């Protein structure tokens, strides 16, 4: 994809019963495919399909259950929308392999190739893009006690992602196919997430495409005093605009149409002489 004219929007499609903002809404294949069609019509360039919630406090989902949730949906979306990019949000090589065989194009790994030793070789052999995301701890406990401490959250997250990129290249993964994600909301306090959003340009300066997923996250709710994730659109759009101004490549969003419009307007202003 060409990111020179501004970021592309990745639409979130959680086929899980327990995702933090839309759990249970798209568990059936029909509902999931209908939701994907709506996001494509609204301008999403990538559909990110997850069969395991990685929200704070969530538990791991076996590979077999992730297969059952995601593979039929990927097959149907690929058949209906041959031109759309499909991302599988998983930490497991077995799930990634099945998803790629079903028609997925990208692997989005919240563990940055740390949770499954078989995943790096799969990515290298298939030659597909991989998203490496930063997190502290595991979903079940990463926000325990209010979240971990950092001396300099921006520098530490950049250092972590740089190390994971080097690891990926030693395993034969093409660095041009690596996207980095600072992991907004994954083992961070509110102030850490705000600092990462404020300094997204430093991640862009690494030279790797950057993905930002701030949509509906709890730090927006904490900052604005909004408990219901579905009511956090304004804060989510503010984050999407900041990400666009910083030069990120991908904005991951639940509210696709509003995000596409905000990103397009912001990109047009940013590229003006």
Pairwise CA distance, residues 206 & 137, whole Å:
24
Q: Is 27 in contact with 17 (CB distance < 8 Å)? A: yes
Q: Is 73 in contact with 44 (CB distance < 8 Å)? A: no
Q: 136, 216, 217, 232: which is the annotated catalytic residue?
A: 217
Pairwise CA distance, residues 224 & 73, whole Å:
35
Q: What are phi and psi of 187, to 5 degrees?
A: 75, 40
Q: 69, 97, 164, 252: which is the annotated catalytic residue?
A: 252
Closest CA to 4 of 212, 184, 209, 165: 209
Closest CA to 265 of 245, 246, 249, 236: 245
Active site residue 217: yes
Pairwise CA distance, residues 88 & 219, whole Å:
25
Q: 198: how many CB neighbours lie within 10 A of its CB?
A: 12
Q: Is 244 in contact with 267 (CB distance < 8 Å)? A: yes
Q: 134: how many CB neighbours lie within 10 A of its CB?
A: 25
Q: What are phi and psi of 171, to 5 degrees?
A: -95, 10
The helix/strand/coil state of 237 is helix
DSSP code of residue 200: H
CA angle 231, 219, 270 (to 5 degrees): 80
Active site residue 252: yes
Closest CA to 46 of 256, 197, 207: 256
> Any idea which residues carry the catalytic annotation?
217, 252
């Amino acid at each position: 994809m060409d990111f020179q004219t501004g970021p592309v929007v990745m639409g979130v499609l959680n086929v899980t019963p327990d995702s933090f903002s839309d759990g249970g809404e798209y568990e059936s294949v029909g509902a999931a495919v209908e939701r994907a069609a709506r996001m494509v019509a609204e301008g999403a360039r990538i559909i990110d399909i997850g069969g395991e919630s990685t929200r704070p406090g969530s538990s791991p989902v076996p590979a077999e259950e992730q297969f059952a949730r995601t593979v039929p949906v990927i097959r149907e979306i690929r058949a209906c929308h041959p031109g759309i990019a499909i991302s599988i949000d998983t930490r497991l090589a077995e799930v990634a392999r099945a998803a790629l065989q079903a028609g997925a194009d990208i692997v989005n790994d919240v563990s940055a190739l740390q949770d499954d030793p078989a995943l790096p070789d799969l990515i290298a052999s298939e030659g597909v893009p991989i998203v490496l995301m930063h997190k502290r701890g595991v979903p079940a406990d990463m926000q325990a006690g209010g979240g971990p401490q950092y001396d300099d959250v921006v520098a530490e997250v950049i250092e972590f992602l740089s190390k994971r990129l080097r690891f990926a290249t030693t395993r034969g993964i093409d660095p041009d196919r690596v996207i980095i994600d600072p992991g907004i909301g994954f083992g961070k306090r509110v102030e850490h997430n705000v600092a990462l959003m404020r300094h997204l340009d430093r991640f862009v300066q690494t030279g790797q495409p950057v993905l930002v997923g701030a949509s509906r996250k709890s730090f927006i709710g904490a900052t604005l005093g909004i408990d219901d994730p579905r009511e956090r659109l304004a804060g989510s759009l503010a984050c999407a605009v900041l990400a666009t101004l910083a030069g990120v490549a991908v904005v991951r969003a639940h509210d696709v149409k509003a995000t596409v419009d905000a990103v397009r307007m912001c990109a047009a202003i940013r590229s003006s002489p």
